[in-house]
Amino acid sequence: MQSNLLRFETTAFTDRVRLSLIGELDLSTSPELIERLAEVVQGRPSFLDIDLSQLSYADSVGFSVFVTAHFQCRDAGIELRFLNPNLFLKQLLVTTGLDQVLTIANTDVLIGA
């Protein structure tokens, strides 16, 4: 079940899944993302791209979900990237040092990427 605060759009390619987050990621919406990520990881794509371009807000709980996803994907052999964070999210990723742990990419093109 999705709340009005966070929505997902999933696009599946041959070996890649793009999960776009739309809205706000916080304590109240993070269980929805955890559930959705578990579904994607079970499908064992080679690559998972989480598009942050439409994510307007994330708090520390949301970032902890990103870290958990990083380790789950690593353990499952899935290459995980976080795409197109807005300036607010990018600054938080740098401030927390997560930009050194997570793969962050700024690209709107996923062709062969």
Residue-wise pLDDT tens digits, 35-63: 999 999 999 999 999 999 999 999 999 99
Does residue 105 or residue 110 have the better pLDDT? 105
- As to burial, measured by CB atoms within 10 angstroms (0-12 exposed, 13-18 middle, 19+ buried), residue 100 is exposed
Nearest alpha-carbon partner for 73 in 105, 45, 111, 113: 45
Contact (Cβ atoms closer than 8 angstroms) between residue 53 and residue 86: yes
Q: What are the structural domains, with CATH classification, of the chain?
A: 6-105 (3.30.750.24)
pTM of this structure: 0.88
Averaged pLDDT, 76-102: 95
